[in-house]
Amino acid sequence: MSWLPLSFGAPMVLWGLLALPVIWWLLRFTPPKPQTEVFPPLKILARVLKREETPQQSPWWLTLLRLLMAALIVAALAEPVFNPRERLPAEGA
């Protein structure tokens, strides 16, 4: 694609974008991190009926943000180069 001012030094790394559905699946089925609770008995009794959070109930925007971060990491690992045909100034000149 010579009409774009963007090129990749390692374009094969972009195949890592195919891993995004796997990452989404792992985020969906990985249990959330357990929360630590302070011991006072009244706090424990007050939170007995607290709703349990599962990965399927995580907000859609949080999952989208995580997948976007993974896509940006893959794109960064592909070594993007802007204006690859432009000559760099010679050193010492």
Average of pLDDT values for 55-60?
A: 74
In the chain, where the domains are located: 1-31+52-87
Rounded mean pLDDT of the chain?
A: 77
Choice among 11-20, 29-38, 67-76, 83-92 with the minimum mean pLDDT: 83-92
Which pLDDT value is given to residue 1?
A: 45
Within the chain, strands assigned E span 6-8, 80-82
Which pLDDT value is given to residue 59?
A: 82
User: How do 6-8 and 80-82 pair as beta strands?
Assistant: antiparallel
Q: Is the pTM of this model over 0.75?
A: no
Nearest C-alpha neighbor of 56 from the set 22, 91, 90, 32: 32
Does residue 92 surpass a pLDDT of 60? no
Average of pLDDT values for 67-90?
A: 81
